[in-house]
Amino acid sequence: MKELRFRQVHLDFHTSPLIPGIGAKFDRRQWQDALKKAHVDSITCFSSCHHGWSYHPTKVGKMHPGLDFNLLRAQMDACHEINVNVPIYLTGGVNNLAAEIHPEWREITAQGELGGWVSSPIRPGFRKLCFNTPYLDYLCCMIEEAVRLFPDADGVFIDIISQSPCCCNWCMADMAKEGYDPENPDDRARFAKRTLMKYYRRVTAAARSLNPEMPVFHNSGNVTVGNREILPYFSHLELESLPTGGWGYDHYPMSAAYCRKLELDFLGMTGKFHTTWGEFGGFKHPNALRYECAAMLANGSKCSIGDQLHPSGNLDESTYELIGKAYEEVERKEPWCRHVRSAADVAILSNTAFHPDPSCAGTASPPGETGASRLLLESHIHFDLLDREMSFDPYRVLVLADDIRISPELGKRLGAFLARGGKLILSGSSVLKADEDVPAFDLPMEYAGINPLFPDYVKAAPAVAPDFVKTPFVMYRPSHRIKVKGGVSLGEIYDPYFNRTYAHFSSHQHTPYKPEPSGFDAGIMTGGILYFAHPVFGLYAGYGNVALKQYVAHAIMAFAGEDLSVHTNLPSQGRMTLMKQEEERRYILHLLYVNTINRGSRMEMSGGNVRNTSTIEVIEELNPAENVIASVKLPETVRKITLEPQGAELPVRLKDGRYEVRLDRLVCHQMVVFHY
């Protein structure tokens, strides 16, 4: 398969049939000049859009009524002349033209309503179709025609790939024929999964009907952790993560922490929009794109920036000046970002993948997993995210957040990990066996179930206490009751006087704590296991309280700080990763820093149907971080340290077994390269 390029644009072109003059202002020279000035080396262009129209002559579908020439061919030829790749886009899960001609192909809920984004015929938006209807035949014919017409395409991108439990005529008939009970929600969900797998098989075959090496990507936003059965139908991954479109700035590094372990080339996908897809005339500040692309490089991926082409076919001048500010920097950084692998010491076991309840498989990231990821990001601890099939061998520390209870199989793997000197960080129920409420590990403590009084409070031990709190701080959720008999206690639990009910309550929120400690401990630290009695990671995801973060981070550093390859004094908004280029014999330390600010307020987005805006996380200025120090412990002997892409050499300082570097000033992104 072709290796992905670093500087891609995803060029949306969902265009109403009521708009005339489609592509009328397309100009080959203007198109090429815009892409060259923006340093773009790949651009996804449309064969068909969500409205259902094709942008080239077609015998299967219908060409847009406002188009009178082969726009996709003109775009592709213009790009290939200047060595810019062109993957082609086809709409998948939504198609308004098909839905209007064949309404019987639409998804139907168990309540007999139209499924998908828009259920009412008097609301604007796109119509979701069922892949178990003849629509799948139609889609495959569209794809087969497109790859015949454009054999020089550099890939096929099919969008909106999902299948809800459906009760259309075809699904009802096939469920009965294949032994599924349509009245059983679990059976409907299983049949939907069966239908989705049928989609993957048939559509991938259609995309590769002419060229078995054709790159193929099916877009459903992101790959669910542990959902490996779909991966054989992908040539690569594209992680949709528009920070201002609802994803936020921590979503991408959390998603990349898993996908970089899958041995598939992948890229991150942001957008040039102030908000999200489909926003004409919306622009984020160039500094935001500079940071977003730097974060993609730091996490081991290539870059993609979303745009939407004006119906006239003319690339917007301001947009490509904006993109060029980011991609000029990406182009200079590429040599240190190719063929990298993560050098993380720490891994989070995905709650989604390791949860013992099969009904939780495939769901969105649980709060424990999200909170652990955010807390490690803010604490500058580089981590990977693991599913059940991934090895523990590369890591020194594993995190099991809140509710991964220990099955016999997992217990055996973790026992071997501990025996070779690895360390475990556990919280909440993750200390317990899967099938009974007893500890799964031989810890010097007594276990007495969950505290019936809540919320309770923690008075942290001095060594792990927050910098600014010495007294008990609230935990919002009850603890597991433990009494430490050996090792180190993380602090004391203080109980409230009573639970808040109509019969007894105090003040506006929770009941204050009793003056005396309860006799139970907040957690335990031994040589190999650090256990927090509360579900601390989910609490951080839900409440974001700084006292809790510092308590957990201080405990982690006391427990495993010497095992971590990188220490740095970056502020909490900073981000850090450590990557390795084995062929070049070097490590790349990525240091990033930016200030985000929430702006705007909730109001209706006039004319929009994707979202009504609330606050949006915005980057404008790139404020510097001063006097940044980082120290790196590596197994190899470092012979040279450089700042890249500047090429400036730093002195090699070895202090207490760590190579230390100092940056007087960090603006946005700096790569520090350790050559061995």
363 has pLDDT over 50:
no
Mean pLDDT, rounded, of the chain: 95
Q: Any idea what DSSP says for residue 192?
A: H
What is the model's pLDDT at position 610?
53
pLDDT band at 615 (very low <50, low <70, confident <90, very high): confident
Q: What percentage of residues in the chain have a pLDDT greater than 70?
A: 97
> Are residues 466 and 460 in contact, defined by beta-carbon separation less than 8 angstroms?
yes
pLDDT at residue 119 tops 90: no
Asked if residues 498 and 513 have their Cβ atoms less than 8 Å apart, the reply is no
According to the model, what pLDDT value does residue 118 have?
86
> What is the model's pLDDT at position 606?
61
Quick one: 576 exposed, middle or buried, by C-beta within 10 A (0-12, 13-18, 19+)?
Answer: buried
For residue 110, pLDDT over 70 is answered with yes
Phi-psi category of residue 389: left, alpha or beta, with phi > 0 → left and psi -120 to 50 → alpha? alpha
Residues paired with 156 in a beta bridge: 88, 216
Q: Say which amino acid occupies 647.
A: G
Dihedral of the CA atoms 355, 359, 363, 367 (nearest 10)?
-50
| Tens-digit pLDDT profile for residues 314-331 | 999 999 999 999 999 999
Backbone angles phi, psi at 289, to 5 degrees: -65, -35
Residues 6+ apart with CB under 8 A from 606: none
How far apart CA 254 and CA 256 sit, in angstroms, is 6
**The predicted structure's pLDDT at residue 613:** 56
CB atoms within 10 A of CB 91: 27
Please report the pLDDT score of residue 362 as a whole number.
43
pLDDT, residue 451, reads 97
Q: Are strands 457-460 and 575-581 parallel, antiparallel or unpaired?
A: unpaired
- Position of tokens 């059965």? 229
End-to-end Cα separation, the chain, in angstroms:
31
Contact status, residue 496 vs residue 474, Cβ threshold 8 Å:
no
Nearest residue to 575 (alpha-carbon basis) of 594, 562, 560, 561: 594
DSSP 110-151: TTS-B-SS---TTS-SPPBB-TTSTHHHHHHHHHHHHHHH-T
Amino acid sitting at position 520: F
- Three-state SS string over 356-367 comes to CCHHHCCCCCCH
Q: What pLDDT, on a 0 to 100 scale, did the predictor assign at position 302?
A: 98
Bond prior to 535 in cis (omega within 30° of 0): no
- pLDDT score of 305: 98
Q: Are 650 and 317 within 8 A, CB to CB?
A: no
Taking the mean position of all CA atoms in its chain, how far away is CA 7?
A: 19
| Cα 284 to Cα 598: distance, rounded to the nearest angstrom | 14
Contact call for residues 504 and 498 (beta carbons, < 8 A) = yes
- Return the sign of the alpha-carbon dihedral for residues 665, 667, 668, 674: negative
Kindly write down the DSSP assignment for every residue of 514-566, as one continuous string. Answer: PSS--S-BSEEE-SSEEEESS-HHHHHHHH--HHHHHHHHHHHHHHHGGG-SE
Residue 264 DSSP label: S
How far apart, in whole angstroms, are the C-alpha atoms of residue 224 and residue 364?
Answer: 7
Is residue 314 within 8 Å of 78, Cβ to Cβ? no
Q: What is the pLDDT of residue 361?
A: 42
What burial class does residue 494 get, using C-beta atoms within 10 Å of its C-beta: 0-12 exposed, 13-18 middle, 19+ buried? buried
pLDDT at 417 over 70: yes
Please state the length of the chain.
676
CB 109 within 8 A of CB 115: yes
**Window from 156-160, 204-208, 357-361, 543-547 with minimum mean pLDDT:** 357-361
What are the beta bridge partners of residue 5?
Answer: none
Report the C-alpha gap between 407 and 188 in whole angstroms: 28
CB 605 within 8 A of CB 650: no
Dihedral over Cα of 131, 133, 135, 140: its sign? positive
Average pLDDT over residues 505-516: 94
- Where are the strands (E) in 139-227, listed by range? 156-159, 216-218
Residue 323 near residue 307, CB atoms below 8 Å: yes
pLDDT of residue 364: 55
Q: Given pLDDT bands bounded at 50, 70 and 90, which one contains residue 120?
A: confident
Give the pairing type, strands 341-342 and 575-581.
antiparallel
- pLDDT over threshold 70, residue 603: no
* Residue 234: both structure tokens together: 């992908």
pLDDT of residue 170 exceeding 50, the answer is yes
Q: What is the pLDDT of residue 263?
A: 87
What is the pLDDT, as a whole number, of residue 589?
98
For residue 231, give the 3-state DSSP assignment: helix
pLDDT exceeds 90 at position 222 = no
Domains of the chain (ranges plus CATH)?
A: 7-91+132-161+202-338 (3.20.20.80), 346-564 (3.40.50.880), 567-675 (2.60.40)
517: Cβ contacts below 8 Å, ≥ 6 apart: 459, 492, 493, 494
| Residue 51 tokens, joined | 């409205």
Give the mean model confidence (pLDDT) for residues 216-236. 93
Tokens 């024929």: give the residue.
177
Question: What amino acid occupies position 20?
Answer: P
pLDDT of residue 171: 98
**Do 636 and 676 form a contact (C-beta atoms < 8 A)?**
yes
Q: Which residues pair with 629 in a beta bridge?
A: 662
Q: What is the CA angle 492-498-499, rounded to 5?
A: 100
CA angle, 95 then 96 then 98, to 5°: 70
Q: What does residue 367 show for φ and ψ, rounded to 5 degrees?
A: -60, -35
Mean pLDDT of 616-645: 96
Question: pLDDT by residue (tens digit) across 554-597?
Answer: 999 999 999 999 999 999 999 999 999 999 999 999 999 999 99
CB < 8 Å & 24+ apart, contacts of 354-360: 354/387, 354/388, 354/400, 354/404, 354/410, 355/403, 355/404, 356/404, 356/405, 356/407, 356/434
Distance CA 262, CA 301 (A): 12
Residue 184 tokens, joined: 């059983």
